[in-house]
Every structure is written in structure tokens, then in C-alpha cells.
């Protein structure tokens, strides 16, 4: 029923009562009627307009609240400027109410103590029964009723630090990434205010896929990698070879090699001997073998061979006769293995290495490949500047000419050799991407100087299979151009290590972790008065990238790529969903507000209590159910980010 209809009905009711009372002939009733009638009319008719004015006041209050927020968000401090902004918003907010008139000259917005924007406004509400005249009482209501509202907005109660975590994995290719970029820029516009003098509003960007690209901070985050060192020499022998003139046939054979220059217990390599006659071949027993010498004089020595840990004389009487030829060469090492010189190589005995670009002694070069044969060699450390190549002995290599490098293949090196999930050797290259921490600080915001973050190794052909993304993170900044340019440069690539993105969301607003950044990008302490720390986490799919020794683990999950690219061990920190929730729990304990956005994630039908889907992670990570958004398309993604931005930027209203 309309208001006029309701009013007419109430008036008809009152008239009916009055007529019945008027018909009554008893004197006492007539007297009472004369006394009560004005009050009844006032309560009934006047109450209609009073009720209507109350309703209008609620609408005015809402409109004034919104207008005061607009004025508070503006950069202005002068009353005239604040009123101009607030009045424009107030007019727009009241356009739907055609039965009231705003007293624009009475509208006021002003700043108190450089913090509070105080506002007041009055409207005139047309009274429905203002012109009713009831003789002999006359007119008792004006043509309109004044309705006033007031509000206060504290424009400087909170500084804002926001970390925006964005999934830019391969599944975001195309329109989905464009939608995300538009939505992210919307949030930037809402959060980062143009006037930083009112309150400091900064935002950090964390794009992630298989990990997070450390950019120029990579070495600080995970420690410097060990690159190759130059090879400046390689040889197995110490001096020129000496020719053999004779080998006697006796129980302790004597070798004649004029001016041999050997001393007792030198290790030598013999080759080129020929023999003839009956019996076992002396040449076959001597050539290509390693012996120890016992010197008889400057031209002669005897041979010894090693069996276990004991050296025995070489009997030659059971072999045929020496015929001619042969050379003796002194070895540098007791094993006659190749000794390589590479200053500061940093290798330990048993390390595997890749060797390349050696000239002359090309036989020691290894394959420059990620799989196959001849991928590496094992070394024995001889000194800080030399090492030997296990099993690479005299007679198997040419003479070294020049150049070359040696590259370690252990954890922390620029390349890493491992056994894949199919039990085959692989060599992956260290990237700028960062993986999970794996010690007692895996779920804390400890500084990288206290605990390094993890490495990520991938094959050189591995970008499409979850390799390191090219996009880097952006620490806290209030520069919208910097943020917008970074967002525009994102491209979709790699797998989904959501747990790493979650952790980095915390790192960007952590005063402990982010102390390594320049002063302008460092977060304020957790207990800073009037400071709001927020992390917004977005993903579009299931987490399928966890790591063991810096390589994608074999239990990464669906969509993790081919097993020949997985290392033959499970993720060090376990389930990525559990990792994410533990990280969220830890950051929320620091009073960080967490919003989550699951973009087109599939509804979980899992009835088990374990959290093992992206949607469940989004729900568990958020500060409350109101902080969870599950948009299904680009339009709703834009709406979700807009709602989050407005929520973050909302200024507290006090009345």
C-alpha cells in the first residue's frame, strides 16, 4: 500500500471514532471527547510525518557517510575543497529521494586535528499532512520537516602494507592472464593513494609459478652459487719419457734406460716394449701398466707391482725375451691419473664435475647435455688448486694444450647432477627461482641471512615443463607506475607452487624477512600503531610443484610434468596444501589479514578431513569466510579484486 493510501486509511479511522463519539448523548463522554480529540489527532496524523522523517534520516546518514568517505580519501585539507568533494558525492547519493530538499548552504565538511573529517547536512522532508487545518486548533505542522545527520571519518588511522600474490602459471595463458592483470591493476588503484601525506599506502607484487624469481636478490636469498673455475693445466706425467734399451730376464728383472733421472719409489708408466721367443709375452705384461721403481744406478732400475697394500718385485724370467723399443715416463700421482690445475676449484674428493672446452687433452671433456652418457667425471682433491680425475690414467689421453673449465655438480653449484624418477642421471641448471626453505624455519619469516631459501634447478629445455619464470617480484612501493608496469609485463609460464607464493606473500610485509630491501621498501614493525598488514593470495588451480634438493619432487602431483624431469625423492616439506596452510596460520598469528581468491578452482568433493585441494586451501588460509572469493570468470574476478580493494581501503567511521 502507498504512503498516501496508508494516511487516508488512518484518517478515515480517526473520523469514524470521532463520529461515534459525537453521536454519544451522555455528558461525561462528550466532555472527555472534547479533551482527548486534539491529542488523538496530533498522535495519529503527526506520527505519520515523524515516522517518515525518521526513515529519511537513515537514508541521509548513509548518503552522508559515503560522501564523507569520499572527502576523506581526497588529498585536500581545506574546508572549501573538502566540502566541494563531499557535496558532489552527497548530491549524487540523494538523487533517488525526490521528496526531500538538501540545504546545500548548510552542508559542511571540515578537518579536525589533521585526522578527522567531520561532516553535517540537513534536508527538508515534505510533510504529508502539513496543511491540515482543524478548527479551532488551527495549523499545527509546517509544510516540511528538517532532518539533520552528522558523521566523522578518521582519514589517518591506518597505514597500509599489502602483498598481492598472483598465480601466473601456464594455465593462466591468454584471456585469463589479461583478466588477472586488469583485476590486479584495479586493486592497485584502490589501495595505493595519491597523497601519501595522509596515510602511507604501499603494495608489493608476488607473481609465482614453479617458484618465485629472486631477480637481483637471488644470491642474498639462497646464497651465491658456485660457478666454473678455469683450467690452466692438465697432465699425468712430470717430465719427458726415457727410452728403454733392455729388460733383463731374471727373478728380479732390471730395466736399462740411460739417464732415467728416477729416484726410489717413483711411479712410472711403461709402453712400446716388444718381445719375442717362447713363453708368456713380456710386452703384454709390461706395456700400459704402472710400476714403482727401485733405482740401481743412473741408468738402471727394477720394477715393482702392487697387490693390495704390498709392493712385490716383478720377475721377468717367466716371460719371453725383450726385443726392442719402449719408453718409461714418470707419473705425477701414484695412480698415474690426470692431475688438473684449476686455482680455487673448491672441490672435495668424490665430487662429480662437468669439464668443457679443454684443448689438446679433449678426452677429459664431458658431454654438455642434461641426459645421456659421459655427463660427468669424479674427482679426488689433491690441493686447493689441483685435483685428479678418477680413472683417467696415463695412455688414455693426449697432451693438454690450453683452456678449459671445471664445473661442480653438487647442491649450491651452477649445475646439479641427480638421479631422476626413472633412475637415470640428469643434469639441471640452477635458475633464479626460489623454492621452499627446508629447515626449522620453513614456516617462519626468518631473515634469509639466518636461513637461506631453497634453490630450483631445471633443464635448459624445461621452461614449458615448469621451469623458472621470467617475471620477478616487486617489494613494497607507493609508485603506481612501477606496479602497473610490472603487472603489464607478466606472462604465463610454469607449474603451480602455491605454497611458495603463500610464503612470499608473508615475506613482503614482514619487517624481519624484508629488512634486506632498500629503506623505502621495508615493512614497518608488526606492532606499529595504526598499521594494517594485508596479504591477498590468488590461484587458479591445484598445487603441483614441490621440491627435493631443488628439483621437482616425484610426488608433486597431477600436472607436474614428465617423470624424467623429477628427482627420485619426495618433497622435503611434504604436501603443498599442508605447507600453505601452516604458512597462513603463522602469518595470521602476526595479525596479518589474509584474503584469498580461487579463480575458477573446482569445487572440492573430498569428504576427508585433510586439506588437499586449492579451494580448501583458500578457505583455510583466509582470515574469515568473508575474506574468501571464488570467482568463475573474468568479470567476477574483477569484481572480487575490486571488493577486496575497497575493503582494504575502507576508512573507519566513528559517530
242-328 in CATH: which number? 2.40.30
Helix (H, G, I), strand (E, B) or coil at 76: coil
Query: What does the pLDDT look like over 36-87, one tens digit per residue?
Result: 555 555 545 555 656 666 777 888 888 888 888 888 877 788 899 999 999 9
Return all residues near 570 (Cβ < 8 A) that are at least 6 apart: 548, 553, 554, 555
pLDDT digits (tens, 9 = 90+) for 334-381: 999 999 999 999 999 999 999 999 999 999 999 999 999 999 999 999
Banded pLDDT at 1 (limits 50, 70, 90)? very low
pLDDT band at 138 (very low <50, low <70, confident <90, very high): very low
Convert 463-501 to b/e letters by CB count within 10 Å (16 or more is b): bebbbbbbbbbbbbbbebeebbebbeebebbbbbbbbbb
Rounded CA gap, 153 and 169, in Å? 41
pLDDT above 70: residue 414: yes
Burial environment of residue 81 by CB neighbours within 10 A (0 to 12, 13 to 18, 19 or more): middle
How much is the average pLDDT of 101-105?
89
Angle (CA) 411 412 416, round 5°? 50
Residue 32 has pLDDT above 70, yes or no: no
Q: Considering only CA atoms, which of 500, 496, 497 is closest in space to residue 443?
A: 500
pLDDT above 70 coverage of the chain, percent = 85
CATH T-level fold of 229-235+336-411 = Elongation Factor Tu (Ef-tu); domain 3 (2.40.30)
pLDDT of residue 200: 87
The greatest distance separating any two alpha carbons of the chain, rounded to the nearest whole angstrom, comes to 166
Task: Return the pLDDT at 569.
Answer: 94
Instruction: At 402, list the grid cell.
Output: 690450453
E strands present in 549-587 = 551-552
pTM for the model stands at 0.75
Q: What pLDDT shows up at residue 452?
A: 95
Q: How confident is the model at residue 590 (pLDDT cuts 50, 70, 90)?
A: very high
Residue of 214, 655, 238 lying closest to 471 (CA atoms): 214
Q: Residue 345's pLDDT is what? A: 98
Domains 229-235+336-411 and 242-328 share a fold: yes
Give the DSSP per-residue string, 527-540. T-TTEEEEEEEEES
Question: What's phi and psi for 342, nearest 5 deg?
Answer: -150, 100
119, 79 contact by CB (below 8 A): no
Distances (CA, A) of 498 to 189, 339, 551, 581, 629: 25, 47, 16, 11, 17
> Residue 124's pLDDT is what?
87
What is the pairing mode between strands 300-307 and 254-256? antiparallel
Q: 654 falls in which pLDDT band (50, 70, 90)?
A: very low
Q: Does residue 623 contact residue 588 with C-beta atoms inside 8 Å? A: yes
Lowest mean pLDDT among 297-311, 319-333, 403-417, 449-463: 449-463
Q: Does residue 585 contact residue 578 with C-beta atoms inside 8 Å?
A: no
* The predicted structure's pLDDT at residue 28: 57
Q: Domains of the chain: which residue ranges?
A: 3-154, 162-223+434-654, 229-235+336-411, 242-328
Which among 231, 223, 219 has a CA at the least distance from the CA of 354? 231
Distance CA 588, CA 573 (A): 20
162-223+434-654 CATH: 3.40.50.410
Amino acid at each position: 500500500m502507498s504512503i498516501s493510501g496508508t494516511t487516508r486509511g488512518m484518517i478515515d479511522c480517526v473520523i469514524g471514532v470521532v463520529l461515534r463519539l459525537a453521536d454519544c448523548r451522555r455528558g461525561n463522554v462528550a466532555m472527555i471527547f472534547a479533551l482527548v480529540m486534539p491529542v488523538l489527532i496530533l498522535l495519529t496524523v503527526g506520527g505519520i510525518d515523524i515516522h517518515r522523517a525518521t526513515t529519511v534520516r537513515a537514508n541521509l546518514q548513509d548518503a552522508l557517510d559515503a560522501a564523507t568517505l569520499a572527502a576523506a580519501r581526497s588529498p585536500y585539507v581545506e574546508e572549501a575543497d573538502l566540502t566541494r568533494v563531499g557535496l558532489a558525492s552527497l548530491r549524487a547519493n540523494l538523487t533517488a529521494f525526490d521528496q526531500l530538499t538538501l540545504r546545500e548552504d548548510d552542508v559542511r565538511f571540515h578537518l579536525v586535528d589533521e585526522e578527522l573529517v567531520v561532516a553535517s547536512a540537513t534536508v527538508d522532508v515534505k510533510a504529508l499532512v502539513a496543511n491540515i487545518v482543524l478548527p479551532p486548533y488551527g495549523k499545527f505542522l509546517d509544510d516540511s520537516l528538517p532532518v539533520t545527520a552528522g558523521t566523522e571519518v578518521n582519514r589517518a588511522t591506518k597505514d597500509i602494507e599489502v602483498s598481492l600474490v598472483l598465480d601466473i602459471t601456464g594455465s593462466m595463458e591468454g584471456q585469463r592472464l589479461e583478466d588477472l592483470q586488469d583485476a590486479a591493476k584495479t586493486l592497485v588503484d584502490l589501495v595505493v593513494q595519491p597523497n601519501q601525506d595522509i596515510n602511507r599506502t604501499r603494495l608489493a607484487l608476488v607473481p609465482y609459478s614453479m617458484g618465485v624469481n629472486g631477480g637481483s636478490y637471488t644470491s642474498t636469498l639462497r646464497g651465491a652459487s658456485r660457478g666454473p673455475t678455469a683450467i690452466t693445466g692438465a697432465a699425468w706425467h712430470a717430465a719427458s719419457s726415457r727410452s728403454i734399451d733392455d729388460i733383463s730376464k731374471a727373478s728380479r728383472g732390471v730395466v736399462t734406460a740411460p739417464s732415467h733421472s728416477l729416484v726410489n719409489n717413483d711411479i712410472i708408466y711403461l709402453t712400446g716394449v716388444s718381445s719375442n721367443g717362447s713363453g708368456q709375452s713380456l710386452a703384454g705384461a709390461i706395456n700400459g701398466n704402472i710400476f714403482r721403481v727401485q733405482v740401481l744406478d743412473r741408468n738402471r732400475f727394477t720394477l715393482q707391482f702392487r697387490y693390495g697394500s704390498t709392493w712385490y718385485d716383478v720377475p721377468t724370467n717367466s716371460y719371453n725375451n725383450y726385443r726392442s723399443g719402449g719408453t718409461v715416463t714418470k707419473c705425477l700421482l701414484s695412480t698415474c691419473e690426470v692431475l688438473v690445475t684449476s686455482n680455487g676449484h673448491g672441490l672435495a674428493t668424490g665430487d662429480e664435475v662437468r669439464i668443457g672446452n679443454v684443448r689438446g687433452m679433449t678426452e677429459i671433456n664431458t658431454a654438455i647435455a642434461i641426459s645421456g652418457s659421459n655427463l660427468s667425471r669424479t674427482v679426488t682433491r689433491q690441493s686447493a688448486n689441483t685435483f685428479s680425475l678418477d680413472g683417467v690414467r696415463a695412455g688414455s689421453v693426449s697432451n693438454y694444450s690450453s683452456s678449459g673449465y671445471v664445473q661442480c655438480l653438487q647442491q649450491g653449484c651452477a649445475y646439479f647432477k641427480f638421479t631422476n624418477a626413472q633412475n637415470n642421471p640428469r643434469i639441471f641448471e640452477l635458475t633464479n627461482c626460489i623454492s621452499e626453505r627446508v629447515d626449522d624455519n620453513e614456516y617462519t619469516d626468518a631473515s634469509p641471512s639466518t636461513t637461506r631459501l631453497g634453490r630450483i634447478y631445471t633443464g635448459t629445455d624445461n621452461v614449458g615443463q615448469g621451469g623458472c619464470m621470467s617475471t620477478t617480484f616487486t617489494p613494497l612501493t607507493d609508485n603506481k607506475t612501477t606496479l602497473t608496469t610490472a603487472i603489464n609485463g607478466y606472462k604465463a609460464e610454469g607449474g603451480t607452487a602455491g605454497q611458495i607464493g603463500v610464503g612470499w606473500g608473508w615475506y613482503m610485509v614482514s619487517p624481519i624477512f624484508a629488512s634486506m630491501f632498500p629503506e623505502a621498501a621495508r615493512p614497518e614493525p608488526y606492532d606499529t600503531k595504526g598499521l594494517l598488514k594485508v596479504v591477498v593470495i590468488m590461484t587458479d588451480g591445484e598445487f603441483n610443484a614441490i621440491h627435493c634438493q631443488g628439483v621437482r619432487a616425484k610426488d608433486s602431483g597431477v600436472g607436474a610434468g614428465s617423470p624424467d624431469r623429477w628427482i627420485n625423492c619426495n618433497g622435503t616439506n611434504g604436501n603443498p596444501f599442508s605447507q600453505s596452510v601452516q604458512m597462513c596460520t603463522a602469518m595470521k598469528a602476526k595479525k596479518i589479514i589474509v584474503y584469498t581468491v580461487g579463480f575458477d578452482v573446482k569445487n572440492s568433493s573430498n569428504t576427508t578431513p585433510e586439506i588437499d585441494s586449492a579451494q580448501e586451501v583458500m578457505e583455510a588460509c583466509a582470515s574469515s569466510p568473508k575474506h574468501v572469493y571464488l570467482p568463475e570468470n573474468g568479470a567476477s574476478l574483477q569484481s572480487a579484486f575490486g571488493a577486496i580493494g575497497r575493503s582494504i581501503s575502507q576508512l573507519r567511521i566513528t559517530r
